[in-house]
Amino acid sequence: MNNLVPVLAIDGPSGSGKGTLAAWMAAELGWHLLDSGALYRIVAAMAVRRRLDIDREPSMRALAESLRIAFPNGRVLVDDLDLTDEIRTEDMGVLASRVAALPAVRTAILAVQRDFAQAPGLVADGRDMGTVVFPHAGLKIFLDASAEARAERRYNQLKNKGLSVSLRDLLEQIQERDARDRERATAPLQAAHDAMLIDSTQMTIQEVCSTVMQAAKQQLL
C-alpha cells in the first residue's frame, strides 16, 4: 500500500448512495475508483458459476485468490468473462454479503484492494475502507441513511428499469444485510473514529457530493 497516494475512503451501508458519490468524486478529481463491493459480488458470481458452496470458507478463499479481475472502461472482466450486468442483481448482492462475512475471503481480497492506490489518487467505496483497508486515508466519509429511505431509493431505481419489485421485500433485504454487515466478526460495518459522518436521509445526492467535495478540498487537495 502506497501511503503517499491520497485516498478518499467512503463507507456506509447498502443503498446509502456511496457508490454514486464515489463515482462522482473520482470523475471530478480525475482519480482512480475502487468499488470494493464489486469484488465480493465477483467472487459470489464465480462461485455460482462453478457450483461451489458459498459458505465453505477454504474453497471460497481459493477462488478469490485465483481470479484475474479487471475494470476496463467501467466494465467488469473476470478471467476474460464480462460480468458487468451479472454481478449487479439483487440476488448477487445478498450472496456477496455472505461472501464478505468470511474472514479468509476478506484477507485474500485485502491486497487486491490496496493495489488500487495509485497516483494521482484513489476514491475507495466499501464498508471497511476507512477502518481496515485504508486506515491512513486522508479523508474518511461514513455515509448513512435510514433503512426505509434506502429501500425506497432502490425501489425507484429498479422500477425505472422496468423491473417488478416489492418495497417491503427490499426493506427486509436491506435490514437483513445491515445486520449481517454490522455483526460479522471480521471488519464489521462501522464508522472509523475519525470519519466525517453524513446522514443522507433528507439530502439529495447533489447536496451530498457538494459537502464531500468541500471537505476534500480542505483535507486532500
CATH of the domain at 178: 3.40.50.300
In a domain, 139, yes or no: yes
Average pLDDT, the chain: 92
pLDDT in the model for residue 90: 82
pLDDT at 87 over 90: yes
In a domain, 55, yes or no: yes
pLDDT in the model for residue 2: 58
Q: What is the pLDDT of residues 122-147, one digit of tens each?
A: 999 999 999 999 999 999 999 999 99
The DSSP string of 17-66 is SHHHHHHHHHHHHT-EEEEHHHHHHHHHHHHHHTT--TT-HHHHHHHHHH
**Residue 167, all three cell numbers:** 418495497
**Residue 66, all three cell numbers:** 485465483
In a domain, 73, yes or no: yes
Question: What is the share, in percent, of the chain residues with pLDDT greater than 90?
Answer: 76
In a domain, 199, yes or no: yes
pLDDT at 57 over 80: yes
Give the three-class secondary structure for 127: coil
pLDDT at 12 over 70: yes
Please name the residues in contact with 212: beta carbons below 8 A apart, sequence gap of 6 or more.
8, 10, 21, 25, 141, 196, 198
In a domain, 26, yes or no: yes
Work out the average pLDDT over 171-177.
Answer: 92
Task: Say how many C-beta atoms besides its own lie within 10 A of residue 70's C-beta.
Answer: 10
In a domain, 24, yes or no: yes
Work out the average pLDDT over 11-18.
Answer: 92
pLDDT in the model for residue 32: 92
pLDDT at 116 over 70: yes
Task: Say how many C-beta atoms besides its own lie within 10 A of residue 104's C-beta.
Answer: 16
- Range(s) of the domain holding residue 112: 7-219
pTM of the model as a whole: 0.87
In a domain, 2, yes or no: no
Q: 35 has which bridge partners? A: 125
pLDDT in the model for residue 181: 86
Work out the average pLDDT over 184-205.
Answer: 92
pLDDT in the model for residue 151: 95
Which is higher by pLDDT, 100 or 194? Answer: 194
In a domain, 1, yes or no: no
Q: What is the pLDDT of residues 28-51, one digit of tens each?
A: 999 999 999 899 999 999 999 999
pLDDT at 24 over 80: yes
Work out the average pLDDT over 172-191.
Answer: 88
Total number of domains in the chain: 1
